[in-house]
């Protein structure tokens, strides 16, 4: 029983005990978490790769668990060492009919490559995926579109390894082969088709190229036509003039509009997601536009953009007339196309930098391959 004077004073001077209690609870909880981290360690440990001068914020943080966890598709990779020819063996073009590529291989190596392609692209269907359910004597026929496409893809792979070493061999000589994109699937994941204006009518603002959830825009409100503009139509990537107060009109050639700016952001967002990195992986955080202050990865990415443009325009788009209707795009009935994510799948290096041509010199360049005898122990 408290005295009357205390009750009177307390009623006239109320005190909010909830705010101090919340503050004490918050500080106590933070202290508990800090003690737990100091005792047991960071459960989500990160690594940081510095890409520029110290103090500029140029670093790429990565969760250790993600970095050290192998790409799960690596387990499905099939490889086999080549058979080094002794000399004088008959060649595939002299044994089999209609061998338009890889004809300079010996029979053993030709069959070895065919077997690998089956494992890389059609492990469930087997040889029938390209040749049909026919006798081996009829394998020379070009009745199925899959065989015609496969032939072009072999040539494309050789062209990539032979002509774009600055990109595919930027860190080490690893190259690409069919598995780099297909990963055991008939159709590679992360291909894309043209969308153009993705909606007939826009509610407001800049027509129908943005503010629609699409895969191409990485499910953002950014424009959905960035891939076709820059990786197919050779659009100039840029966001603004480097001079202040320039008298420019949007209709003038070469003027970067805000639509171009947002389209560029859409492409850059796609590239970042494709490689699992942030902007500072390629750009200097204090001068994104200055090519004299970029990281070495910027040059590698520029080569990658050029490579993808060539892949799409010289190899994939010309196959449009070969594909059946169900393999074409849903809007413009266009051929499937490639971009960064088709190979990278969210990793800085496809298949985490695994050498894809070590056992496959046949795919490293057009023409007869150069084999090296295995090193003796």
Domain boundaries, the chain: 78-176+348-372, 190-344
Q: 58: annotated binding-site residue? A: no
Q: List, for residues 222-240, the tens digit of each pLDDT value.
A: 888 999 999 999 999 988 8
Q: What is the mean pLDDT of the chain?
A: 87
Asked whether the predicted pLDDT for residue 5 surpasses 50, the reply is yes
For residue 328, pLDDT beyond 90: yes
Share of the chain above pLDDT 70, in %: 90
Instruction: Tell which wins on pLDDT, 57 or 310.
Output: 310
Q: How far is 247 from 137, CA to CA, in rounded Å?
A: 70
Q: Is 245 annotated as a binding residue?
A: no
Q: Please tell me the CATH code under which domain 190-344 is placed.
A: 1.10.468.10
Angle at 201 between CA 196 and CA 203, to 5 degrees: 120
Q: Is 114 labelled a binding residue? A: yes
344 is in an annotated binding site: yes
Over 256-308, what HEC string results?
CCHHHHHHHHHHHHHHHHHHCCCHHHCCCCCCCCCCCCCCHHHHHHHHHHHHH
Q: What is the pTM of this model?
A: 0.82
Tell me what pLDDT residue 377 has. Answer: 47
Helix (H) and strand (E) counts for the chain? 13, 2
What pLDDT score was predicted for residue 222? 87
Is 283 marked as a binding-site residue? Answer: yes
Kindly provide the residue ranges of all beta strands, DSSP E only, lying in the chain, ordered along the sequence: 46-50, 59-63
With CA atoms as reference, report the closest residue to 362 among 111, 132, 121. Answer: 111
240 belongs to an annotated ligand binding site: no
């Amino acid at each position: 029983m408290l005295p009357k004077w205390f009750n009177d004073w307390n009623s006239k001077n109320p005190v909010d005990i909830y705010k101090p209690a919340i503050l004490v609870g918050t500080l106590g909880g933070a202290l508990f978490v800090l003690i737990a981290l100091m005792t047991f360690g960071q459960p989500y440990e990160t690594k940081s790769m510095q890409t520029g001068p110290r103090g500029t914020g140029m670093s790429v943080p990565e969760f250790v668990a993600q970095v050290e966890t192998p790409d799960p598709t690596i387990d499905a990779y099939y490889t086999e060492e080549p058979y080094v020819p002794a000399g004088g063996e008959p060649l595939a073009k002299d044994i089999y009919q209609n061998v338009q590529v890889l004809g300079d291989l010996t029979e053993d190596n030709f069959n070895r490559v065919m077997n690998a392609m089956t494992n890389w692209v059609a492990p469930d269907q087997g040889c029938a995926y390209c040749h049909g359910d026919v006798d081996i004597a009829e394998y020379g026929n070009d009745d199925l579109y899959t065989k015609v496409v496969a032939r072009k893809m072999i040539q494309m792979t050789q062209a990539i390894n032979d002509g774009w070493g600055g990109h595919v061999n930027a860190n080490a000589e690893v190259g690409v082969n069919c598995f780099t994109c297909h990963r055991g699937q008939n159709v590679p994941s992360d291909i894309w088709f043209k969308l153009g204006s993705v909606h007939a009518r826009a509610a407001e603002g800049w027509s129908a190229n943005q503010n629609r959830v699409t895969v191409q825009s990485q499910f953002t409100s950014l424009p959905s036509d960035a891939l076709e503009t820059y990786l197919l139509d050779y659009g100039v990537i840029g966001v603004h003039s480097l001079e202040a107060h320039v008298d420019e009109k949007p209709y003038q050639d070469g003027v970067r509009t805000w639509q171009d700016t947002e389209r560029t952001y859409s492409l850059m967002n796609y590239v970042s997601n494709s490689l699992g990195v942030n902007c500072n992986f390629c750009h200097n955080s204090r001068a994104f536009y200055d090519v004299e202050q970029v990281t070495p990865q910027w040059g590698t990415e520029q080569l990658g953009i050029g490579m993808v443009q060539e892949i799409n325009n010289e190899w994939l788009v010309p196959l449009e007339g070969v594909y059946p209707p169900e393999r074409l795009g849903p809007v413009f009935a266009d051929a499937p196309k490639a971009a960064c994510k088709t190979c990278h799948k969210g990793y800085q290096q496809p298949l985490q930098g695994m050498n894809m041509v070590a056992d496959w010199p046949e795919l490293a360049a057009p023409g007869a391959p150069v084999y090296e005898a295995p090193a003796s122990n």
